[in-house]
Amino acid sequence: TIAAGGDWDATGGTVIISDSTVTFDSAATGNTILSGTTSFYDIVLNDGAANSGDWTISDNLIASNSFPVTATNSTGVDLAGFDLDVGGNFVIAANGTVTASNSSITVSGNWDSLNGTFNYNTSTVRLTGTGSVQAEQPGWMLRFYRLDLAQDGNTTTLSNSFGVNQL
């Protein structure tokens, strides 16, 4: 496990993370994550226990297993138009926020933003594996701009009702 209390810049060398968890945990605002060529296993984003931390992604980001956003301030995690590829589950917990801008988010496992906030803007969410979708409620409010469901041979289970601009 690696704990990062602020910015992450992996452009100056090689970071081999293997099957480890990198936890970004900061109460400060204005943090950036620049992965360079680093492929993460688990990325956890937390707020330093004060609902005040936030991060801006500065290049395309890969989490080969999971991407839980446990808690952030209202700005949260801004993908800033960069793509996010998650090999497992994408989770936004009760105090978490993710802003997608015009990013493409590919998830091979489950999508769970039921208790958190997902600001979809003009993003595309692609669910490529077998998994389920739980999105914020209530009812048929728009929760995705564009949603692509499971590829051939896989199943996406919709666990509650939500609106989609483009399917």
Query: Average pLDDT of the chain?
Result: 87
Strand partners, 142: 163
* pLDDT value of residue 53: 80
What pLDDT, in 10s, does the model give residues 70-118? 877 777 899 999 999 999 999 998 888 999 999 999 999 999 988 888 9
pLDDT tens for each residue of 31-46: 999 998 789 999 999 8
Residue 123 reports pLDDT greater than 90: yes
**142 to 9, 29, 46: CA distances (angstroms):** 35, 28, 26
Q: What is the pLDDT of residues 53-69, one digit of tens each?
A: 889 999 999 999 999 99
Sign, CA torsion 17/76/70/108: negative
- pLDDT at position 40: 93
Give the closest residue to 22 by CA, choosing from 67, 75, 87.
67
